[in-house]
Amino acid sequence: MSVTLRQMRAIVAVARTGSLGRAAKLLHLSQPALTVQLREAEAALGLRLFDRGARGAVATVAGRGLADAFARVLEDLDAVVAGAREAAAGRSGLVRVAVLPSVGATLLPPVLARLRAANPGIRIVVRDAVARNVVQLVRTGAVEIGIGTEIERDPEIEVVPILEDRMVAVLPSGHRFEALPAVAVAELAGEALVLMDPESSVRALFDRACREAGVSPLPACEATYMSTAVALVRAGLGIGVLPSSAVDLRVTPILQTRPIVGPEVRRSISLVRRAGRTLSPAAEALVGDILAGIRGPGLRQRRRRPARTG
């Protein structure tokens, strides 16, 4: 026979109060019920824990040592239970999320700020990643959720479309394209271009549009980070091809943008999670805030039912 949690609480209460009556009241028990718990604990341990007399119940040496040890165990257990309840309510916990750099720099921070303001106990780890790595991080469990694009069919992955992001031409100050309402892909082909790394989804989309238009532009500069690309455009090194959400950084208001057409270049941004896996309450709270809160200029919100890629 082992000592139960109720018996531990009974031992601690009696040791602290020195009275069966006061301990019973503290534990919301009758005194006979408390007495039974103490006797069963003493039988299980093979020790006398309290000397009972007219002045109450006095812990023996063994009883005092056990009461102190049980008190520490119960405090730790109560803290764990309280933490679990906070996590279940979505008020605490750790969430790991993988996100496209453009979304992580523009659309995600306000969502995270609102989540933290409402739930200060939630910790968030954000990992910037190119599109294919977002899915891989979700698949391996390195993160609970991801925000990506150009997601291939995969039975292990569930995809929830969020919005569509339009590609724009970011023009150096004073460029002649500022007089145009939009810039065709074929027109861009003859210009010095600042393009993203070939591994990025933005570059893949633009290269596909160029093939459709029958042109093969050569980049004047390539950048891994969109903030670098914007800086290169600001320095006059070429026209940038970036998502409209990335330009919303507004770090360089002197630059103008124009939609890219012929063909129009858009990307679908989606929330990614492992199919058939339960998210932590904190991650569920973040997902809810992402679906409710992501907005941005040049974006068209997607309102579709969640769908698996398989």
Question: What topology does CATH give the domain 164-266?
Answer: D-Maltodextrin-Binding Protein; domain 2 (3.40.190)
Report how many helices (DSSP H) and strands (DSSP E) the chain contains, helices first.
12, 14
Q: Cα(97)–Cα(147) distance, rounded to whole angstroms?
A: 8
pLDDT value at residue 106: 79
pLDDT value at residue 176: 94
The encoded tokens of residue 74 equal 């119960």
pLDDT value at residue 306: 44
Read off φ and ψ for residue 199, nearest 5 degrees: -80, -10
Q: Where are the domains of the chain?
A: 5-87, 92-162+269-308, 164-266
CATH class name, domain 5-87: mainly alpha
* Run means of pLDDT, 10 residues per run, the chain, 310 residues: 86 90 90 91 90 81 90 82 65 84 84 86 87 89 90 86 89 93 93 91 90 91 88 93 72 78 88 89 86 56 44
CB 162 within 8 A of CB 294: yes
Spacing of C-alpha 213 from chain mean position: 39
What is the rounded radius of gyration, in angstroms, for the C-alpha atoms of the chain?
31
Q: Cα(97)–Cα(146) distance, rounded to whole angstroms?
A: 5
> DSSP assignment of 94-131, as one string?
EEEEEE-HHHHHHTHHHHHHHHHHH-TEEEEEEEE--H
pLDDT value at residue 268: 87
- The reply to whether 92-162+269-308 shares the fold of 5-87 is no
pLDDT value at residue 191: 94
pLDDT value at residue 83: 66
Contacts of 217 (CB under 8 A, 6+ apart): 188, 189, 190, 191, 193, 210
CATH class name, domain 92-162+269-308: alpha beta
Determine the residue type at 274.
R
